[in-house]
Amino acid sequence: MNHNKIAVIDFGGQYAHLIAAKIRRLNVLAEIKQPEDPTETFKEYKGIVFSGSPALSSFGEDSDYNKEIFNLDLPILGLCFGHQEIAKYYGGTVIHGKQEWGRADLHILKKHPLFEGLEEVEQVWMSHFDSVSSLGPEFEELGYTVLDVNSEPHRYAAIGSDKLKRYGFQFHPEVDDSINGHVMLKNFVCGICGCEPSWNVENFLEEKLNQIRTQVGDNSVFLLASGGVDSTVAAVLLGRALGPDRVHLLHIDHGLMRQEESTRVIKAFKELGLGENLHFVDASEEFLDALKGAIQPEEKRRIIGNTFIEIFEREAEKRGFEKFLLGQGTIYPDTIETGGTRRADTIKTHHNRVPLIERMIEEGKVIEPLAELYKVEVRELGEMLGIPEELVWRQPFPGPGLGVRLLCSDGSSELNVEEFESLTAEINRSLKGYNLRGIPLPIKSVGVKADLRSYEHPALIEGDASWDNLLEAAGKIYKEVKGINRCVWNLGPKLSGTVRPLKAEVTRERLDLLRRADQLVMEGLKNHGLLREIWQCPTVFVPLEIDGKGSEFCIIRPVLSRRAMTATAAELPAELIKQLREALLSLPGISGLGYDLTSKPPGTIEWE
């Protein structure tokens, strides 16, 4: 069947494939294209969407891409960087400044087909450095945004020219935090572009099964099966396409698993009918030996990834599987966050994107049947494949496991006295009027700002405030204090002395304590019926001595999300917070307890 199609031009932003995924959910086929693609390739589409970009800027020199696209008689919608490019191409100007992060209110200035069915004020999501400051003669301002009650209006957040059929949003309608962003996309795709909805997920499943059979041919697949949602769906999908006798599963216990995780994983795969060719290796000592002395997050990720592959190759050779294709449950955030597309910035290295894996991909030795999907699509696919709900909807768990939730340190502070005092003063200026006070922590964590990787300090705040005030105060800190990408609310005793980093690396003893803390958090969520509602809740250990006590600062990180590309902090019930405070602070060696309030952006879901 021929489908009406929309082209999404990927300028390297995190959200390019999310735009396509959102459009597909309108039952309209969307395909990713590159900005250098010949103009002729776009003529089969009904419209075009320009994505954002971390690597390009509309400020200053012209960006290098095929600008003949603008001569096509097709509607074009630009988002973030794409919005700025449309404004600039048609005579507007772009400045470097007036950046915004997180939620904002879009004030719609006039009735327009793009906003059909919407209110005059809509919540949207911002993540940008550059801004449109004026428009060309053919364009009009359709809306402006306001970040909070203390912010000036951000002009030209929505622009358009009905004559040229060119439109731009500074915000990201494709992310779930733009509450009615999907309506805006539908108004563009089905209204302005005139697309008929005719594509569905069932078609995608059939096409994917055929693709797997074509790629694998007469070979078999050896899949690294962690037991998480992605690898489980990938295993069942491969089994459906090839038959279970041609799918061999290798589960490696790297010593970084949750409590009794491997036992549960093996049981689940057997119940799914994939136990005949299921292989188990306890490699915990090997991983722990490899991680000795490793401190930096990227170093740990590379070690874990390389050790995975070394064991995979050894086990493959031992069992005669070296000629098999390597299967992985990689999903799109894994590739986009490691710079896997042409312009994407590396936010973090995933164990399934280390250099050895990249070489195997180039050699055609890897099959990743879920690489185009986001977590919510993977879950839906799992349901279609008949996988039990408790497996499909379990919370995501990173491939490197607790290795990226156990922060390490050489014992030196990331802040000198002058830097600490300066950041403390800036943080408390931002907190004025909130009945809160804060300090920067002398360690760093990974974040993401305007699609770019950041490695900056968390702020630790304390005091009594409502949930809304806590989130609002955290938002002010991100906006006003440079060098801060997280905000943690102190749930432990009130600070009275110093916060000092301690020398610490990955050890079995630290992991066992983290496993116990993680189990307490997971049991708490389960007892309060929140395992399905909370997207993910990492429990993180940071080697910090607080007020001369303990060696592990424990942080809980409950978030709400659908696709992992954006996230907001989840509010836990007061009774659960009380229970977790009592249970976690009673563990041996715990110096304090924090509640991560950070949205994504500016912080990633995991701390490393």
Which position among 17, 80, 190, 408 bears the catalytic label? 80
Q: Hey, which residues does 134 pair with through a beta bridge?
A: 93
Q: Are the CB atoms for 517 and 587 separated by under 8 Å?
A: yes
Phi, psi of 286 (to 5 degrees): -65, -40
Q: Are the CB atoms for 561 and 568 separated by under 8 Å?
A: yes
DSSP per-residue string spanning 349-378? --GGGSHHHHHHHHTT-EE-TTTT--HHHH
Sequence-distant (6+) residues with CB within 8 A of 477 are: 427, 430, 431, 438, 459, 461, 484, 487
Structure-token match 């993977």, residue found: 378
Amino acid symbol at 24:
R
The two three-digit tokens of residue 371, written as one number: 């690489």
For residue 332, the SS3 value is helix
Alpha helices in 127-198 (DSSP H): 181-186
Q: Distance of alpha carbon 378 from its chain centroid, rounded?
A: 15
Which position among 172, 248, 251, 254 bears the catalytic label? 172
- In 270-381, which ranges are E strands? 278-282, 325-327, 366-367
Sequence-distant (6+) residues with CB within 8 A of 28 are: 3, 4, 5, 6, 189, 190, 195, 196, 197, 198, 199
Known active-site residue 80: yes
Known active-site residue 315: no
Q: Are the CB atoms for 232 and 383 separated by under 8 Å?
A: no
Which position among 100, 174, 462, 552 bears the catalytic label? 174
Known active-site residue 190: no
Could you give the residue numbers annotated as active site? 80, 172, 174
